[in-house]
């Protein structure tokens, strides 16, 4: 018979399966938990949108829009793009559903897959995962700092240490107008190829982003935006720094930070991890003053972040962070007969309803095979059920860490397990 060829995942996608999916889940839930604890509420959006949303929202000069979008025509002839980031879609939804007519700021979080056709490498994928938040409708340093703190507290909760928060300000419209004039004058003295000159024409800041040595060198003496802030923008940026200090959140000011998306204004930030090599940005975000208007909505400002779940997983692994206890199974049951299988299934069902994490051996296994499965499961306790156990209504509950066994009546299993787990782990 002809052998079918094996199908593999598309190039450059990240995927998680056991055991590593535990780390992914832990990281994602920690990030989401931090957002929820600050009153952010779920917004669940489509993974594909009208292509114009990203062209207009993310910016025509960005790598994301010019080179990295997965764009296709759907069956109705519409141009559709797989979302490369989350902010534009959130703004589209806020405008479309008038969410900004209620109480401000609108505070939402999201989590899911994003798509950029980048050259794959460690920590850079074509499908990757983000947890993001957006706070829309308020332009106060307090909310800037809240957003940064949500990310910072999540990283702390994960146990990450080896990273730095970098911040900057891209100023208000007036600051940027003044600065852009100076920057354009500087750029006009450079000898640029046509494509680069075109990008610089749309957004001269993009040249700071260029990876080519000749452009990097040429931009070394370019004027710096932070030095052109109006007194109001300067005051806002100082206040952000003051409030971060108040919360004990350490940071460095990175005068040369350039975010890869065009919509940023005012406060911008990045979390950079030192154990990840080239793809060191574990999260980033900032304020976007004109985005909502640009997408046909009112002139409200907003601020948010996107944190890369994949890169946080790598960061946790680089720092040797251990998973918390709730990823570990409490009990593994090994039934030895057909009657025992039914009994084990019922026991497991009852114990699960009582809040315990329980799994059992399926199929026909020898005692040795069953115990091997118990061992592999990583469960804290195991027990074997055979005809003798059913007849006596009691089992030997084995502590898989110490090897000790305890005889327990089946009816007392739930209570005994809760007690033993409390004794070893404290209140969960
Ligand atoms: P971003 O800086 O483009 O911002 O992406 C945020 C994070 O997503 C990055 O710091 C990185 O951890 C992760 N990331 C980006 N691209 C990749 C990739 N190809 N592979 C793996 N991880 C990646 C945004 O997306 C903005 N929407 C954030 C934001 C929200 N700004 C305001 N609100």
DSSP for 194-218, written as a single string: HHHHHHHHH-GGGGGG---HHHHHH
Q: pLDDT at residue 29 above 80? A: yes
The DSSP 8-state label assigned to residue 17 in this structure reads -
- The DSSP code sequence of 108-161 is EEEEEEEE--PPPBTTB-SEEEEEEEEEES---HHHHHHHHHHHHHHHHHHT--
**Residue 320 carries which DSSP code?**
T
Which percentage of the chain shows pLDDT scores above 90? 90
Closest CA to 152 of 282, 311, 301, 317: 282
Q: Band of the pLDDT at 260, cuts 50, 70, 90?
A: confident
pLDDT value at residue 1: 64
Would you call 75 helix, strand, or coil by DSSP?
coil
Check residue 349 and give its pLDDT. Answer: 98
The reported pLDDT for the residue numbered 367 is 93
| Peptide bond preceding 19 in cis form (omega within 30 of 0) | yes
Average pLDDT of 386-400?
Answer: 96
- Assess whether the previous peptide bond of 87 is cis (omega < 30° from 0): no
Please indicate whether residue 134, judged by its CB atom, sits closer than 6 Å to ligand 1: yes
- Our CA dihedral for 338, 340, 341, 344, rounded to 10 degrees, sits at 170
Closest-CA residue to 304 (of 292, 312, 295): 292
Pairing of strands 106-115, 41-42: parallel
Residues 199-214: pLDDT tens digits? 898 889 889 888 899 9
Q: Crossing angle for the helix pair 141-158 and 231-246, nearest 10 degrees?
A: 40
CA-closest residue to ligand 1 atom 2: 284
Pairing relation of β-strands 381-385 and 331-335? parallel
pLDDT of 327-360, one tens digit each? 889 999 999 999 999 999 999 999 999 999 999 9
Angle at 341 between CA 339 and CA 343, to 5 degrees: 70
Q: Is 370 in the pocket of ligand 1 (CB under 6 A)?
A: no
The residue whose CA has the least distance to atom 28 of ligand 1 is 306
Check if 118 has its Cβ closer than 6 Å to any atom of ligand 1: yes
Q: What's the full length of the chain, in residues?
A: 428
Q: How far apart are CA 135 and CA 147, in angstroms?
A: 8
| pLDDT for 427 | 58
Residue 271 main-chain phi, psi, to 5 deg? -105, 120
Per-residue pLDDT tens over the stretch 69-97: 999 999 999 999 999 999 999 999 999 99
Q: Model confidence over 137-194: pLDDT tens digits? A: 999 999 999 999 999 999 999 999 999 999 999 999 999 999 999 999 999 999 999 9
pLDDT of residue 355: 96
Closest-CA residue, ligand 1 atom 31, reads 285
Q: Is the CB of 87 under 6 A from ligand 1?
A: yes
User: Could you tell me the two tokens for 317?
Assistant: 């692994």
Are the beta carbons of 334 and 383 closer than 8 angstroms? Answer: yes
Please indicate whether residue 352 or residue 256 has the higher confidence score (pLDDT).
352
pLDDT at 27 over 70: yes
The whole-angstrom distance between residue 24's C-alpha and the CA centroid of its chain comes to 9
Distance from residue 59's CA to the centre of ligand 1 (Å) = 15
pLDDT value at 60 more than 80: yes
Classify residue 273 by its DSSP letter.
E
Residue 172 beta carbon below 6 angstroms from any ligand 1 atom: no
pLDDT per position as a tens digit, 276-297? 999 999 999 999 999 999 999 9
Q: Tell me the average pLDDT of the chain.
A: 95
- Nearest-CA residue for ligand 1 atom 6 is 306
Is the pLDDT at 131 greater than 80, yes or no?
A: yes
DSSP strand E in 316-423: where? 331-335, 358-360, 381-385, 394-399, 405-409
If you average pLDDT over residues 88-111, what whole number do you get?
97
């Amino acid at each position: 018979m002809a052998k079918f060829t094996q199908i593999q995942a598309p190039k450059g996608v990240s995927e998680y399966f056991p055991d590593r999916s535990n780390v992914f889940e832990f990281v994602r839930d920690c990030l989401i938990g931090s957002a929820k604890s600050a009153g952010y509420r779920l917004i669940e959006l489509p993974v594909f949108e009208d292509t114009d949303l990203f062209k207009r929202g993310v910016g025509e000069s960005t790598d994301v829009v010019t080179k990295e979008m997965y764009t296709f025509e759907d069956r109705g002839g519409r141009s559709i793009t797989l979302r490369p980031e989350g902010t534009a879609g959130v703004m589209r939804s806020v405008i479309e559903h008038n969410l900004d007519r209620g109480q401000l700021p609108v505070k939402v979080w999201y989590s899911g897959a994003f798509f950029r056709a980048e050259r794959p490498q460690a920590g850079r994928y074509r499908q990757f995962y983000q947890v993001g938040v957006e706070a829309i409708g308020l332009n106060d340093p307090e909310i800037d700092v809240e957003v940064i703190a949500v990310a910072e507290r999540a990283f702390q909760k994960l146990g990450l240490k080896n990273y730095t928060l970098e911040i900057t300000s891209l100023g208000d419209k007036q600051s940027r107008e003044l600065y852009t004039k100076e920057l354009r004058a500087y750029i006009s003295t450079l000898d640029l190829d046509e494509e680069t000159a075109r990008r610089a024409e749309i957004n001269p800041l993009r040249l700071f982003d260029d990876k080519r040595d000749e452009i990097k060198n040429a931009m070394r003496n370019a004027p710096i935006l932070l030095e052109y802030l109006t007194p109001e923008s300067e005051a806002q940026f100082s206040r952000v720094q003051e409030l971060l200090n108040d919360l004990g959140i350490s940071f460095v000011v990175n005068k040369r930070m350039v975010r890869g998306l065009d919509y940023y204004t005012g406060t911008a930030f990045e979390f950079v991890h030192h154990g990840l090599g080239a793809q060191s940005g574990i999260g980033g975000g900032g304020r976007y003053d004109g985005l909502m208007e640009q997408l046909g909505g009112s002139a409200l400002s907003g601020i948010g972040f996107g944190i890369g779940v994949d890169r946080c997983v790598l960061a946790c692994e680089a720092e040797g962070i251990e998973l918390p206890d709730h990823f570990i199974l409490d009990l593994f049951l090994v039934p030895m007969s057909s009657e025992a299988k039914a009994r084990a299934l019922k026991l497991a069902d009852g114990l699960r309803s009582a809040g315990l994490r329980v799994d059992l051996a399926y199929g026909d296994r020898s005692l040795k095979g069953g115990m091997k499965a118990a061992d592999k499961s990583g469960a804290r306790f195991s027990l074997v059920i055979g005809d003798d156990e059913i007849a006596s209504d009691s089992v030997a509950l084995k502590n898989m860490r110490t090897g000790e066994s305890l005889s327990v009546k089946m009816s007392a299993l739930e209570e005994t397990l809760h007690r033993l787990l409390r004794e070893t782990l404290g209140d969960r």
